Structures are given as structure tokens and as C-alpha cells.
Structure 1
């Protein structure tokens, strides 16, 4: 079973589709013959990508949506099912970053990253999954976690918390879909490693008039930008994810952009938990939580 055989002719809805791995997933979905709905709070980025895909012969629509707003996500789902058709693939991808010590993190930044990275996934599931269930046709839900969902990293605690949360949410959702007997729905967690995006540049920092706090936050931003320089192309990452999703009997749960690299982080996390080791500071992170 190939990704083209599985997804061609279907509708893909991708949040945060205007850039990064969201845009990569959209571009690759287009090559598979999917109709692509580009949902993003950045209207300009979504419209630009739509024009590119349409010029290439893909049926694509751009829709402005703030995933923090449950009513907006519900309206997105209603419009897609009314104007486009049943959704074969839902990708809850929208996400942001935050740098700095946890105690220096502005409350507004904490609330924003939780509302987007975790709340946005919940709102997507709540708006789309009942419709996907009712349609009765094969459908996939991909929730965007990260290598940061199986690692711990200083100076990025809010982001790491959200990606652990998304992974747990997705694991529970998989069980609940199975428990309810909805055999036509596949729930999968996407764990990107380092993938090119602008998430580090646009990440929040600290606003205290404290030079040490600001320096710590910006030093972590710089470290992540160094990692970005050697990061994976988003379209190449998307191709890996799509093929993993349907490999074998299509029962995979963890979709890893760099299977060996991300898999080693998972193995290390399992070892630490099994041995009940405390978190230990490293002079250089073994695993970066690089992402979409």
C-alpha cells in the first residue's frame, strides 16, 4: 500500500500550513493528488502557498483560522465539509516556540503556547473527528508532537511541555477511537526531528529588564538556529511521514521524520524512565527538540 494509493483523491486539512513542516506536508499531499485545505492564522502565507499549488495543478483552498478559538475551528470544519467534502486526512500541526527560563516566561506567552500547541490540537479533534466518524469512510488524524515530546531540554520548558502533552493526548485518543469501535479512523502521532522552519526566529522570549534572563533565552535561540542550518527539508520530511503512515498494514502510530535520530531519543527516554534517573544537565544537548 503506497501513500498515493491511500490518499489520492482525498481532502487534507492542515493547520499551520503556511510554513515549515505544515507547508511541506501540504506540498507533498498535493503531489499525491489530494485536495489541500491550508488553514493558518497568517493569511498572506496561506494565500501564497495556495497560489503555488494551484499553479501546479492542485485543487487547494486557503482559510484563515486561529486554532486557539474553538468556534473558529468549528467554522473551519463546517465550511470544509459543506464546500469541499469529507476529510481523509486531518493534520493538527499549528505550533509556536518559547525560549527562556520558566520563571522568566511571561504569563501571556505561557498561555499563548498552551492555547496554540495543545488547545489547537484539541479543538481540531473536537471539530473534525465527529464528522470523520459520521462519514464512515477511511480517515487519518495526525497530531504534531516533536522529538521534544520524548526529551527534556532547559530554556524551552513551555514548548517541551506542550509536545509531551500532544503525544499523551494522541495516545489516549488512539485508545478512545479503538474503544468506541471506529475502525475506519487511524490516529497517529508525528514526531519531527530537526526540520527547516521559521519557528525559532518567531519564538517568544522574556520581557524582563534582566540582562541575564534575556541572554539565557537568546543563547538558546542561537543554539537552535545553529541546528536549523543542518535541518531536514520540509517536503522530504513530509514524504517520510506519509510513507510511514501507510507502511505494512498501516497500523503505525509513531511517524518519525528521521527514524534513526528521533528513535534514538525515544530509546534514551525509555532508558531514563526505566532506570528512574533524574534529569541531568548536559553541556551540549544530546537531542535537540527541533521541529516543524
Structure 2
């Protein structure tokens, strides 16, 4: 259980917007040192200037979290400047949709690179540092928060690449929690599973690297983009509210963090499908008009 944040160091990927920025703002208010990581230079500069103005110690890195060498260099710089971080928010993520077979190799490489490999790098680079710090000081405490999604617990159609990446993050996070329990009582782990919250993720194609760009999105990808834009844009839960839930969860040593607890009903339905070996339930059973609209759009009817 985390009791004190003042003077502690947090590494936050995807820190230029959304959950990453809101968690950094909370961290600054609590007197933390902040390591801000983002791929978008202007957003990173703006976040860095805002947080430094609060008096927080800030290190900023523009990098691609899927890149092992860039992440390694950043982790070394953090260790040299602040020592082992107490908190790591593996938060950077990108959204992508479309029918599974219409996703290109580049789609898979981009989404899995950011959403999964970004978390893998954050864990493999920082956990050893954190364990070493904990071994030297019995009072040292740390916590890792990996951002997954409700799409890591469900499998909404026309979002396959994203679903796969987020299910992997949930699996990684649950295993990380169990692995840490075996070796230390000083470092905790949580997985954040937000539903539709107004962040920049629905426009993440703005940061897609040129070498992983497709010439033109498919029909199913355009349909999913429009649906996601609408759902994210109309979200009532704010990124700031979710960031507060994250900090509350760290204090309470709570593993699963939900932005919309009511969405768990759908997870329960999925689990019952598995337990009863029945075919997957229609995800639009409670909102049939949305399912009908999607089917019509995809079939061109």
C-alpha cells in the first residue's frame, strides 16, 4: 500500500495527452518527480512546460515506446538522474479498427509495437531497477500501472488488432502481479481497463510512423473510426477522473481499475460463454440498433 508520493519519481509513457497527462498533473500536485515520454513533440513540450511551471522536476523524452534502443536509453537516463523510479505508468497506446483480415502487416506491427511492446519494454527495463532499490531499502515502495482497455477483457467486433494487443497487456499485467508477489512485498501492479473516455486515442493515426503507414484505410477501418470517434467523443467519464481512480487504486493496492464499472456485466457474459462452452454472445444484444447499423454498413446494404 502506497502511503506517500512526495519526492517519488514516476515514469509516464503517452504523457502528452489523455490519461498520461492527467496522471502527470496529479503527480505534480503530489510533489513527484516526473519523467514524461511521448512520441508527439509539440504535446510533450506543452506538457513539460505546464508541469515544470508547478515546480515539479521534469525529464522529457520524445521517443517511440516500441523501439527497444530508445526505451533502453531513456531508462538509463532516468536511473542516472533520479535513481530507480517508484512508479511506472506504461500508458502509451494507439487505436485501430477494421475487420481482422483487412488489417495489413503494417497495422499489426504498429498497434502491437506501441500497445504491447511499449509495455513489455517498460516492465523489462524498470522492474529490475525497482527490485534492486527495494532490496537495498526495506521502506522503499513502488507500483506499476499498465494501461489496457475493456477491449482487453472483451472482444468487440471490427476491432481485432486492438483487442489482441490489449488482451496481451491484461495477461502480461496479471502475470506481472503474480510474479512480483513471489519475490517482493514492496512493489505492486495494476491494470487500467478504460471504456470509452475522451482522450486522443481515437485520433492516434496522427502519430503513425511513415514506414508503417498504409496507402489508404479500408472500408471497415473507416466505419470503425467513425464509430469510435462518436463513442469516445460522447464519453461522460473524464480522463482526469480516471487518473484519480488510478492513484486511489495504487493507495489501496487494487489490481483491476475500471473507468466504467457497469461494463463488467459484459465481461461476466463472456466468462459465462466460456464456462458453458456456448458460442460468443452478440455484443450488441442490449443495443441492437448499433449492431444492425454496423452490419448494414459493412455489407453495403
TM above 0.5: yes
Q: Which residue of 2 aligns with 1:244?
A: 249
In the alignment, the residues of structure 2 paired with residue 11 and residue 262 of structure 1 have an alpha-carbon distance, to the nearest angstrom, of 33
Q: Contact between 1:106 and 1:206, CA under 8 Å: does it hold in 2?
A: no
Rg larger in 1 or in 2?
Answer: 2
What is the TM-score of this pair, normalised by structure 2? 0.85
Q: Which residue of 1 aligns with 2:131?
A: 133
In the alignment, the residues of structure 1 paired with residue 220 and residue 115 of structure 2 have an alpha-carbon distance, to the nearest angstrom, of 23
In the alignment, the residues of structure 2 paired with residue 264 and residue 123 of structure 1 have an alpha-carbon distance, to the nearest angstrom, of 32
Which has the higher mean CA deviation after the structures are superposed, 151-160 or 23-32? 23-32
In the alignment, the residues of structure 2 paired with residue 186 and residue 117 of structure 1 have an alpha-carbon distance, to the nearest angstrom, of 21
Secondary structure at the counterpart of residue 145 of structure 2: strand
Q: Which residue of 1 aligns with 2:165?
A: 162
1:193 and 2:195 aligned = yes
In the alignment, the residues of structure 2 paired with residue 6 and residue 86 of structure 1 have an alpha-carbon distance, to the nearest angstrom, of 16
Aligned-pair CA distance for 1:207? 5.1
In the alignment, the residues of structure 2 paired with residue 208 and residue 18 of structure 1 have an alpha-carbon distance, to the nearest angstrom, of 27
Aligned-pair CA distance for 1:280? 4.1
Equivalent residue pairs, number? 275
Q: Which residue of 2 aligns with 1:35?
A: 33
Q: Which residue of 1 aligns with 2:295?
A: none
The structure-2 alpha-carbon separation of the partners of 1:65 and 1:51, relative to structure 1 and needing over 3 Å to count, comes to same
Secondary structure at the counterpart of residue 142 of structure 1: strand
The structure-2 alpha-carbon separation of the partners of 1:45 and 1:151, relative to structure 1 and needing over 3 Å to count, comes to same
In the alignment, the residues of structure 2 paired with residue 242 and residue 27 of structure 1 have an alpha-carbon distance, to the nearest angstrom, of 11
Which has the higher mean CA deviation after the structures are superposed, 273-282 or 87-96? 273-282
1:235 and 2:240 aligned = yes
Aligned-pair CA distance for 1:63? 1.1
Q: Structure 1: which 5+ residue stretches go unaligned? A: 286-292
The structure-2 alpha-carbon separation of the partners of 1:105 and 1:206, relative to structure 1 and needing over 3 Å to count, comes to farther
Aligned-pair CA distance for 1:132? 0.4
Which has the higher mean CA deviation after the structures are superposed, 56-65 or 169-178? 56-65
Q: Structure 2: which 5+ residue stretches go unaligned? A: 135-139, 292-301
Q: Which residue of 1 aligns with 2:153?
A: 150
The structure-2 alpha-carbon separation of the partners of 1:74 and 1:206, relative to structure 1 and needing over 3 Å to count, comes to closer
Which has the higher mean CA deviation after the structures are superposed, 267-276 or 92-101? 267-276
In the alignment, the residues of structure 2 paired with residue 87 and residue 146 of structure 1 have an alpha-carbon distance, to the nearest angstrom, of 24
In the alignment, the residues of structure 1 paired with residue 63 and residue 201 of structure 2 have an alpha-carbon distance, to the nearest angstrom, of 18
RMSD in angstroms over aligned alpha carbons? Answer: 2.1
What is the TM-score of this pair, normalised by structure 1? 0.87
Q: Contact between 2:36 and 2:44, CA under 8 Å: does it hold in 1?
A: yes
Which has the higher mean CA deviation after the structures are superposed, 169-178 or 53-62? 53-62
Aligned-pair CA distance for 1:216? 2.3
In the alignment, the residues of structure 1 paired with residue 76 and residue 228 of structure 2 have an alpha-carbon distance, to the nearest angstrom, of 38
Greater share of helix: 2
